[in-house]
Chains A and B, each alone.
Chain A
Amino acid sequence: MGIGIENLTVTYGAENVISGLSLDIPEGCFFTLLGPSGCGKTTLLRTIAGFVPAAGGTIRFGGQDVTRLPPHKRAIGMVFQDYALFPDKTVNQNVAYGLHARGEKGPTVTGKLTEALERVGLGHLGDRHPAELSGGQRQRVALARALVIKPAVLLMDEPLSNLDAKLRVQIRETITELQRESNITTVFVTHDQEEALSMSDLIGVMNKGAVEQLGSPQEIYSAPRTAYVADFVGAANRLSTRISLAGDGMVSAELCGARILATDARTGGGTEGILILRPETLHLSRDPDPARQTLPATVKSRQYLGARTSYRLHLAGDIQVVADLHGPGHDGFQPGETVSLGIDPSQARVIAA
């Protein structure tokens, strides 16, 4: 079932952590709350779970108002950052815990247990204690334990942040697969943009207790509506600029005394804006490319990163821009060199200041 949040307010003491937040998460959706620590994403998740009381507003699971329902009656499945496996119980006992709490007994439990552990690939480890498992195995048990009870919604609080990089990718795939199979509405909290972009159907980027932008991974990355979102998801050059309308959804932005054409992504009007340039959308050449709009620049420094090279460029008027080059010859420019910076109008976006 879907999750409906309406005008939600959460307070810690006298402080509003979340004020008047509304959000609709469709049934079966893999929804990610993305943001830095302290943005309120975990608080929002814990409010949905019921561990943090709502001071105002409503939370609905598939139409049913659960705002005043204690967490143990909300039919949630929850996966925690530190796994939260019961250390004194075996893997089997951990996974069966929620089934027993629902009064299920005997062969039903055994059947569901076996199936759940098979699905996370741990069928052979049922008699182990959590201390005898690796981090990845523990997180799989936690996942099986949350899913075996067929929860109405699945809530995950940074479940991958304690794992090393390779395992993270593996478990990421497991989680996505299981979620698609079971079609359980899922809320996933993370500060890792790569996790958010690769796993989600829908992302909500959070800032100061509010969802700043809601959209598909593609929208969030390629069409950020605020400087905050642009900055947090992927790297971005942010440049203040004066603009004039150029028609056809385009604006003409003033940059280093020159004017460049860019996509208009503002919500309002005005003559001030911020030009967002993703480093990987920029081009470099020794001579001005007549097919592109270019600006003269000087290479200040560079970092060779194997698959790409990151250049720090100086433009006229002491403006700094980072450009990432991929493909053959990406490391071909040297510090001190004068180059032409190519900007694609469809990739350059102007947002409201």
Chain B
Amino acid sequence: MTGTLCSPWFWISALALALLSLFVLYPLLNVLTASFTGEGPNGWSRLIATPRYLQAIQNTLILATTVTVVATLIGVPLAYVTARYSFAGKSLIALLPLITLVIPEVIAAQTWLMMLGNNGLITRALRDIGIRLPSFYGWFGLITSMSFIYYTYVYIGVVAAIGKFDAQLEEAAQSLGTSPARSRLKVMVPVILPAILASALLVFTMTVGNFAISMILSHRLPLLSVVTYQAAVAEGASDITMQSTLASVSVLIVMAVLFLNRWVVARGRYEIVQGRGARPQPLRGLKGAAVALAAGLVVLISLLPLISIILGAFTQARGPVMQWGNWTFANLERVFVTAPQPLINSLTYAGVATGLSIAFSAIVSYVVVKKPNIFTPFVDYISAVPLALSGTVLGVALLATFHGGWLPLSGTATIIVLAYVIRRMPFGMRNGQATLHNIPNSLEEASISLGVPPVRTFFKVVLPVMLPAIAAAAVLTWTTTVAELSASILVYSGGRETLPIQVFRLIDSGLMAYASAYGLVLVAVILIPIIVAAKLFRIDVFAAK
């Protein structure tokens, strides 16, 4: 036991557990208990008594279900044709994961508005020829825009499963006398079904937790994340009891989905089939053209945000009115010269958060994997908790916990960085643990046997081997923290706006040209590290995902 107490790893795991308890567990428990405490009737009875809240829960569930179905219907066929066939323009589809990564949701929402909103490009063009589109605010806009963002998650999950699917199974079915189409259905569908379900559940939770698009496009339609946000930032005193209750509802929904996921995975009797994937068959003629066209259209729609913010960023505007066709640098000048604070803030906060998150994940996942002790299982579990929290819930939790009291952080830069770190740390931990499981213990023991003490061994041997994975994780952490909106918008204070917050506020005021300019800079800030990592260091950022 004296040996344990002398070990630096023991103290690191104790410190990690203390930090996780303070900044993850404690705020979460605060949210869950605040719904019962406070003055007046408790949050749950108010929830049931208020039709608007019940409506919000119902709408959120309907929206999440619909988006999940639509995204699956787009993602699965796209994955199938990409994995099994080659056709013109197929390489474009490989860009899909990149597109979702570099375009923040707030910008995607903005784009849809610029195209199909009341004053949108397409809306106006169609109005000129006499066609009136339904209003993009509400169900139509929410379902369309979310489906066209989230289908990529279905695509990524399913394309990997089909790639691993052993084509010999299909051939076996055909050799037993089943027709090709039927054998595909009977043999392949059950095997890739777990992947489809897993990605569908991911889309479901992401829709429930979605903030940016819900906020911008829901208009008068109450949604859970929107009413939670509104309860948190209500004029006058924010309603801690109600915001906590609503956040609890969201936590409960996500937990239910996670349990469903576990149940599905546990029930699946299929081993992941490792085998020879099928060689993609060329599609030619009419069929090939049709597939290429459909796939191209999907990719084009995904790319639309990028095109529209480039256009918007250089277009003159007078207040909310875009003067299409008149170009200007004034919008970008505002980003860099007149009001550069959001850019500076974003770079600072995301930079610090990336550094902290990566350092924490690397060291703590090392302790969890290689130096387990009584604390490490708890460290492991608690570090995964933020996966079940949407940004809004996390924001509410941090706000409720660190507003005043003995640790008054709200409104500081620290709390924004904290929100960033907490949201990304689970991914860093997962990535770090996966990397470390692949590093044999003998490597460290070899170093120790050659006379290098354990802690120096970590820095001289383990860290260099982890470095490529850490670099990839760092880039990924950077891209996602820079784009973070839903938690930071709850905890920031005036003067600490980040790029996404600024874009959000400008959209809210209808200033699309400025919003585009800040958005374009945001995309550049996200994209540049990815390109540098890929070109200079040959790091595949998506390997870390």
Interface residues of A (CB under 8 A from B): 49, 51, 53, 70-73, 75-78, 80-82, 84-89, 97-98, 101-102, 142, 145-146, 149, 155
Contact = CB atoms under 8 A, between A and B. Distances in A.
Q: At the interface, is chain B mostly helix, strand, loop or mixed?
A: helix
B465 interface: yes
A98 B456 CA distance: 13
B405 interface: no
Nearest to B444: A84
Nearest to B450: A98
Contacts of A53: 3
Contacts of B446: 78, 80, 84-86, 142, 145
25 contacts: A51-B445, A72-B448, A72-B449, A72-B451, A75-B451, A76-B449, A77-B450, A78-B445, A78-B449, A80-B442, A82-B440, A84-B443, A84-B445, A85-B446, A86-B443, A86-B461, A86-B464, A87-B465, A97-B452, A98-B450, A98-B451, A101-B452, A145-B446, A145-B450, A146-B450
B447 to A, nearest CB: 7
Nearest to B449: A78
A117 to B, nearest CB: 16
Of listed B443, B451, B464, B467, residue having the most chain A CB within 10 A: B451
B447 A77 contact: no
Nearest to B439: A87
B451 to A, nearest CB: 4
Interface of B: 3, 440, 442-443, 445-454, 457, 461, 464-465, 467
B17 to A, nearest CB: 23
B454 A72 contact: yes
A204 B465 CA distance: 37
A71 B461 contact: no
B468 to A, nearest CB: 9
Nearest to A148: B450
Contacts of A98: 450-451
Nearest to A97: B450
A170 B489 CA distance: 67
Given A82-B440, A82-B442, A84-B442, A71 B449 contact: yes
A301 B254 CA distance: 67
Of listed A73, A84, A89, A149, residue having the most chain B CB within 10 A: A84
B9 to A, nearest CB: 14
Contacts of A142: 446
Given A86-B465, A88-B465, A101-B452, A81 B447 contact: no
Contacts of B440: 82, 84
Contact of A77 (B3, B443, B449, B457): B449
A75 B449 CA distance: 7
Contacts of B453: 70, 72
Of listed A75, A80, A81, residue having the most chain B CB within 10 A: A80
A87 B462 CA distance: 10
Given A49-B445, A145-B446, 13 more contacts: A70-B448, A71-B448, A72-B448, A72-B457, A77-B449, A78-B446, A84-B440, A85-B446, A86-B465, A87-B465, A88-B464, A98-B450, A101-B452
A89 B467 CA distance: 13
A69 to B, nearest CB: 12
A168 B445 CA distance: 24
